Amino acid sequence: MASKEELLDYFDAQMQYLGTATRQYVHEKGLWHKVIHVWIAQEIDGQIYVLFQQRSKQKKTFPNCLDISAAGHFSAGESEHEALREITEELGISPLWQDMLFLGILPQDYGTLENHTNREFCYTYLYKNQFSAQAFQIPTHEVATLFWIELQSAQSFFQEKQPQIEAIQFFTSEKQYFQLTNFVPATPHYYCDILHAIEQYFCSYS
C-alpha cells in the first residue's frame, strides 16, 4: 500500500492561510508554508557553543551539509507545540516546551533549486541544552552526526572574515574543519542574525 503523502498548510506572503496541499505540490508551486527551526546552544568551559547537525548523505537536498540543530515542516493543522516533535525525531531528545525560547518568525525565500521553489515561515526557537551526549539518539538516515561550533568563531566565519571553521564532533570530541560551502545555504544574514540572538540570550542570563 502506498504511503500517505504529507500535507502542509500554505499561505500568502502576509501569512494569511490559503489552503492545504501535499508537500510536493507546495514545493513545486513555491507556496509559503511553516517550518520549525530549533537552535541548541550550551556554555562549555566559559564559551558558548552552537550545535549543528550534519545531514545524512542519503538526503535528497544538501547531503552531508551542516544545518540547523533540528528543523522540519509543520504538518497541516499542527501547532508550534506539536511541531516540536522534530527535535525528538531528529535528535532523540524531548525538551520541555516551557524551556524553549521563541526568537521569532523569520521569512526565508530560498528561491528555486532542483525544480522546486522553497518559501518558508520559520518559527525559530533556542534551547539551552540540558541533556547529556548519551541522551541524543540520531536516526542515521536523517542525520549523519552532530558538531559543536564556538559562537564567536561562527559569527566571524559567517561574516566571511575567515575561510574555514573548526567544529568539534559531538560524540567523539574530534576536530574537523569546514568551509562555507559545507553549510546549507540560507538567505543573507540568516546565520549572523541567529547567532547574534543566541549571544544576546546568554549575555542576558549569564
Q: What is the share, in percent, of the chain residues with pLDDT greater than 70?
A: 96
Specify if 130 maps to a domain.
yes
CATH code, 89: 3.90.79.10
Chain segment 75-104, per-residue pLDDT in tens: 999 999 999 999 999 999 999 999 999 999
Chain segment 169-180, per-residue pLDDT in tens: 999 999 999 999
Specify if 1 maps to a domain.
no
Specify if 178 maps to a domain.
yes
**Across 142-154, average pLDDT:** 97
pLDDT higher than threshold 70 for residue 147: yes
User: How high does pLDDT run on average in the chain?
Assistant: 93
Q: Are 88 and 203 in contact (CB under 8 A)?
A: no
- C-alpha cell belonging to residue 137: 539518539
String of DSSP letters for 85-146: HHHHHHHS----GGGEEEEEEEEEEEEEETTEEEEEEEEEEEEE--S-GGG----TTTEEEE
Q: How confident is the model at residue 114 (pLDDT cuts 50, 70, 90)?
A: low
Q: Are 9 and 82 in contact (CB under 8 A)?
A: no
Specify if 183 maps to a domain.
yes
How many domains are there within the chain? Answer: 1
Q: What is the share, in percent, of the chain residues with pLDDT greater than 90?
A: 85
12 or 1, which is more confident: 12
Specify if 60 maps to a domain.
yes
Specify if 166 maps to a domain.
yes
Q: How confident is the model at residue 3 (pLDDT cuts 50, 70, 90)?
A: very low
What pLDDT, on the 0 to 100 scale, is given for residue 1? 37
Domain containing 94 equals 35-72+79-100+121-204
**Across 35-63, average pLDDT:** 95
Specify if 7 maps to a domain.
no
What pLDDT, on the 0 to 100 scale, is given for residue 56? 96
Specify if 108 maps to a domain.
no
pLDDT higher than threshold 50 for residue 2: no
**Length of the chain in terms of residues written:** 206
